[in-house]
A and B are shown apart, each in its own frame.
Chain A
Amino acid sequence: MLEGAELYFNVDHGYLEGLVRGCKASLLTQQDYINLVQCETLEDLKIHLQTTDYGNFLANQTNPLTVSKIDTEMRKRLCGEFEYFRNHSLEPLSTFLTYMTCSYMIDNVILLMNGALQKKSVKEILVKCHPLGRFTEMEAVNIAETPSDLFNAILVETPLAPFFQDCMSENALDELNIELLRNKLYKSYLETFYKFCKNHGDVTAEVMCPILEFEADRRAFIITLNSFGTELSKEDRETLYPAFGKLYPEGLRLLAQAEDFDQMKTIADHYEVYKPLFEAIGGNGGKTLEDVFYEREVQMNVLAFNRQFHYGVFYAYVKLKEQEMRNIVWIAECISQRHRTKINSYIPIL
């Protein structure tokens, strides 16, 4: 791309970058978490959240307050911020932001299809859909019977269309196929997003590529872990791995052959990035692989804010905010279920 794009960056995206940095400053601090953990009831939690930048976002909720209400309101807030960014963005940032929503859209489509499979009503599932991944045709997903149907009828106009190239098939949509579809879509999405960032060059590539590489590797690990003891063949498993990242290609080939967690760990030990992560599992506080990955993700996203003139901050902000929401929901759940022993195992955002 352009040499010295930082010279021109602020012309188009300076306002939004400033805005997103301001938003990032409003993330809850360690002190806030300490206070939140001390709360006795959800009402206390609400009062404390009022003193932070969340403000009066729960003021119009009727009693009694539930965790899901808090979650919905927080999502709404994030969605409002994101919509604002998106409405004020110019190319290529707007494409970048569209890419960001794609992952939520995939999740929503899969969620709806699963719901249709289990004969649940669309309304029931719509509530669970992530607002960032909402699109008009979404609710019609359940009329499709095969992936090609799905593509041809519904998704061809959405940004998800390009990701469908690899997964056109006439197989009926059962649970396994939906899961395969999700992973294939995700793989294709990550690869396209990665290519987009790489082609964009500059600081954006420098910041976003490692984050996406980590995302790809994480998916590879998680897919491997989840496929143990299922009917998924090793060849099929390999086709689900995103074709980039630190593990690509040798690590992925090895992962495809792995048969249990220990073998996976041996493979991870070859990589200096992942070795400490796998070593941290089960350590203090009984961390799971997921927790460890989340922590690493938070770390990378926080670091993204150390560079200027790139789009990574938007990605990082949304991810950090999501993590914060997960934390609050976790704490709220622990409070409402009176299950205080585990309340401290949220992922701190440093």
Chain B
Amino acid sequence: MGSMFRSEEVALVQLFLPTAAAYTCVSRLGELGLVEFRDLNASVSAFQRRFVVDVRRCEELEKTFTFLQEEVQRAGLVLPPPEGRLPAPPPRDLLRIQEETERLAQELRDVRGNQQALRVQLHQLQLHAAVLGQGHSPQLAATHTYGASERTPLLQAPGGPHQDLRVNFVAGAVEPHKAPALERLLWRACRGFLIASFRELERPLEHPVTGEPATWMTFLISYWGEQIGQKIRKITDCFHCHIFPFLEQEEARRAALQQQSQELQEVLGETERFLSQVLGRVQQLLPPAQVQVRKMKAVYLALNQCSMSTTHKCLIAETWCAARDLPALQEALRDSSMEEGVSAVAHRIPSRDMPPTLIRTNRFTASFQGIVDAYGVGRYQEVNPAPYTIVTFPFLFAVMFGDVGHGLLMFLFALAMVLAENRPAMKAAQNEIWQTFFGGRYLLLLMGLFSVYTGFIYNECFSRASSIFPSGWSVAAMANQSGWSDAFLAQHTMLTLDPNVTGVFLGPYPFGIDPIWSLAANHLSFLNSFKMKMSVILGVVHMAFGVVLGVFNHMHFGQRHRLLLETLPELTFLLGLFGYLVFLVIYKWLRVSATNAASAPSILIHFINMFLFSHSPTNRPLYPRQEVVQAMLVVLALAMVPVLLLGTPLHLLHRHRRRRRRPTGRKEDKAGLLGLPDASVNCWGSDEEKAGGLEDEQEAEEPTVNVQVESFHRRTQPVHRHCSQETCLSSIPRRSLGPLAVGHRQPLTQFLSL
């Protein structure tokens, strides 16, 4: 767990991979997950890299896989997850996989095409039958007037002068959303030389491609003259209608259609059986092949980041690797290159760049690290706040959630997840919400546990008080002392217990809040005040702790000036204002007792007056010379603000200027500034420039970081620079903890009192 405190030491390692063994080495490293490759070919565009051909082949394969996968999914089947360890296959296996999948894909395409064609045919037949069965008999169409009343007069009345003209028919089906447009266009283009009747199909047909049910509009157009006929054909073509020959002897036609479609269905059934066989083979082959090819592609992508040695005998890779893992790395390289009869070499090289942050987690710490990372990942070797978060985060949650019953439920829920965490069904669950809960199961466990604890302190179980110990208050004593008679009790519904009366208040409750408070009318206001004060104390301690953690960073990176210019002013500001508030709270708890409660000073008024430099005559001072002390503290705290804002930038500027004037003797503090032990390896000239540049960067960065107003949990994190505005501003949200704790309780209490 030593690595929990700081992110691990990471070294830049140069790997010499002989060309013959490069693939196996990288594949092995990939399986172990020990290293992070640096891109040595950043200036080379994607398609000019060395292994681009191989990557492309893998991509081709993936394209085939996508096709197969889609087919399997379309058939409503699921791909089983791949089992066992599947290392990247040797490059020569690619050809085999490629051939197999290509063959399978081709087969599938053929069968699929056949099936598709059959289904389209079947669909056509069904549609045809449906159109015929729709009952637009010609007479019906002619006399039918729905939606066409304004058209009827335009027609030649049957039996008129043109009775000898042959009436032709076009029957077909069109998608419903196109029907109105088609109808209008037909009418406009043909000016009443036709009668069209449209009808919706009663029974939706299956769409041949998607298989979804789709309704169709069937239509029957009767028209006069060939010219119009051609026009109608063109128009129906452009609307992609299905046109069917319309004959008089429909009964015979329908029977024939019925038979045809039955035959087709049989063939289709056969095809579909064959299709499911092919799909079954795909299901077996696909998942492992997918994983393998993905790994293969990843290996080639990693190899693309390597540069070639001058002799073309080996590839040179630069990787970040945890210093602790170096022996493992070397062993892995040796093992995997031995097979090829060559040897790959790894050696550590000095680096000027800041290494990546590496923090190892286990299943317990992972969720806590996740919370910390959500606020920002620390720089290399900065103090990692996650171990403290394990305590503070659940505890602060519990301060808000404190309730034995609710906490216990939460704890049991989390416990169940923890106990069942090794069951495969738990991990395989796809539900996103469930995954969130499952990922944070240890977090929930602790949150529940702490909630039980704070619940005991608040003496609340499902928002009801429980009396484990006898109460410290005695109603009997009060009744005896003040002589409450039955009549008195009947008159007064509210009675006051006075702790100043002897025997009424026997002493504090052994643990937490006295249960008698749940009977009191001022229960909430008492608890609110208590929780508020507790929250302020916890918050200030928490923040101060965060600032102190920053000290370890400054010491580690050798930035002693920041101790003076950042940590000290921050602490002064924090403790001078809010630390003083904590002092007031505790002082009042100790000094003011029930006997002089009537004239007790108000801390809130004192604290407000402290900033206004005034005093109210009704509010007694807590201790002599209080105003002088307070004024001094405020002035001191305000004086820290400019120090915080300007201190470090001015210091860096000063140092930068001084260095420019005296170009020698700068080595050690530059190294200190950069926080890199091996900063002085490269030659001097470029060194100086780089160092200067970095400092400028830091100077430029400082004000922007200042602007961020961050949530108060961030306070636990020394990873970022503690800046004045944050200190000033985040001190205030901390006080919101109190109301939240109150907020949890209030609705429930009210609910229970109903």
Interface residues of chain A, those whose CB is within 8 Å of chain B, are 35, 38-39, 43-44, 47-48, 50-51, 59-60, 122, 136-140, 142-143, 152-154, 156-157
Contacts and interface: CB of A to CB of B under 8 A. Distances in A.
B181 A157 contact: yes
A21 B188 CA distance: 43
Contact of A143 (B45, B66, B234): B234
A153 B56 contact: no
- Of A137, A142, A152, A157, most buried by chain B (CB within 10 Å of CB) is A137
B63 A43 contact: no
Interface string B49-71: 00010001001000100100000
The 9 nearest A-B residue pairs measured at CB: A139-B238, A153-B189, A44-B47, A47-B47, A140-B238, A153-B188, A35-B45, A143-B234, A140-B235
B46 A154 contact: no
Contact of B181 (A43, A50, A51, A137): A137
Contacts of A35: 45
Given A59-B63, A60-B63, A137 B185 contact: yes
A139 B237 contact: yes
Given A140-B185, A153-B185, 8 more contacts: A48-B46, A122-B238, A136-B239, A137-B181, A137-B238, A140-B239, A153-B189, A154-B188
A38 B45 contact: yes
Contacts of B655: none
Nearest to B190: A153
A246 B184 CA distance: 42
Contact of B45 (A48, A137, A140, A142): A48
A185 B184 CA distance: 24
A143 B178 contact: no
B56 A43 contact: yes
Contacts of A59: 59, 63, 66
Residue among A47, A50, A60, A122 with the highest chain B CB neighbour number at 10 A: A47
Contact of B184 (A38, A44, A143, A157): A157
A326 B515 CA distance: 80
Given A60-B63, A137-B185, A51 B238 contact: no
Interface string B178-205: 1001001100110000000000000000
Contacts of A143: 189, 231, 234-235
Given A60-B63, A122-B238, A157-B184, A140 B189 contact: yes
A317 to B, nearest CB: 26
A50 B237 CA distance: 39
A139 B188 CA distance: 15
Contacts of A154: 185, 188-189
A121 to B, nearest CB: 10
A142 B231 CA distance: 10
Contact of A51 (B46, B48, B59, B188): B46
A157 B184 CA distance: 10
B234 A140 contact: yes
Interface in B28-85: 45-48, 52, 56, 59, 63, 66
A47 B52 contact: yes
Contacts of A44: 47
A50 B46 contact: yes
B260 to A, nearest CB: 28
**From DSSP, what is the main secondary structure of chain B's interface residues?**
helix
A43 B57 CA distance: 12
A51 B181 CA distance: 43
Contacts of B47: 39, 43-44, 47-48
Contact of A47 (B46, B188, B231): B46
A47 B235 contact: no
A153 B235 CA distance: 11
Given A143-B231, A143-B235, A152-B188, A47 B56 contact: yes
Contacts of A137: 181, 185, 238
Contacts of A48: 45-47
Contacts of A50: 46
Nearest to A156: B188
21 contacts: A35-B45, A38-B45, A38-B48, A43-B47, A47-B56, A48-B47, A51-B45, A59-B59, A60-B66, A122-B237, A122-B238, A136-B181, A136-B239, A139-B237, A139-B239, A140-B238, A143-B189, A154-B188, A156-B188, A157-B181, A157-B184
A42 B29 CA distance: 34
Contacts of B178: 136
Contacts of B188: 152-154, 156
Nearest to B63: A59
B23 to A, nearest CB: 21
A26 to B, nearest CB: 17
A138 B178 CA distance: 13
Contacts of A60: 63, 66
A56 to B, nearest CB: 9
A300 to B, nearest CB: 31
A152 to B, nearest CB: 6
A210 B273 CA distance: 65
A154 B234 CA distance: 13
A35 B45 CA distance: 7
Contacts of A47: 46-47, 52, 56
Contacts of B52: 47
Nearest to B189: A153
A116 to B, nearest CB: 10
A138 B181 CA distance: 12
A50 B56 CA distance: 12
Nearest to A141: B238
Contacts of B239: 136, 139-140
Interface string B223-244: 0000000010011011100000
A142 B63 CA distance: 41
Max chain A Cβ within 10 angstroms of own Cβ: one of B234, B238, B239: B238
For B63, B66, B178, B231, the residue with the greatest tally of chain A CB atoms inside 10 Å of its CB is: B63
A35 B234 CA distance: 48
A138 B240 CA distance: 12
Contacts of B56: 43, 47
A51 B45 CA distance: 10
Nearest to B184: A157
A48 B46 CA distance: 6
A51 B189 CA distance: 51
Which of B47, B48, B237 has the most C-beta atoms of chain A within 10 angstroms of its own C-beta? B47
Nearest to A116: B234
A287 to B, nearest CB: 28
A331 B400 CA distance: 63
A186 B47 CA distance: 44
A155 to B, nearest CB: 10
Contacts of B48: 38
A329 B52 CA distance: 24
Interface in B428-469: none
Contacts of A122: 237-238
Contacts of A38: 45, 48
A296 to B, nearest CB: 31
Contacts of A136: 178, 181, 239
Contacts of A139: 237-239
Contacts of B46: 47-48, 50-51
B39 to A, nearest CB: 13
Contacts of B238: 122, 137-140
A214 B184 CA distance: 39
Contacts of B66: 59-60
Nearest to A153: B189
Nearest to A38: B45
B230 to A, nearest CB: 8
Nearest to B55: A47
Interface string B690-730: 00000000000000000000000000000000000000000
B635 to A, nearest CB: 45
B694 to A, nearest CB: 26
Nearest to B233: A143
Contacts of B235: 140, 143
Nearest to A62: B63
A10 to B, nearest CB: 24
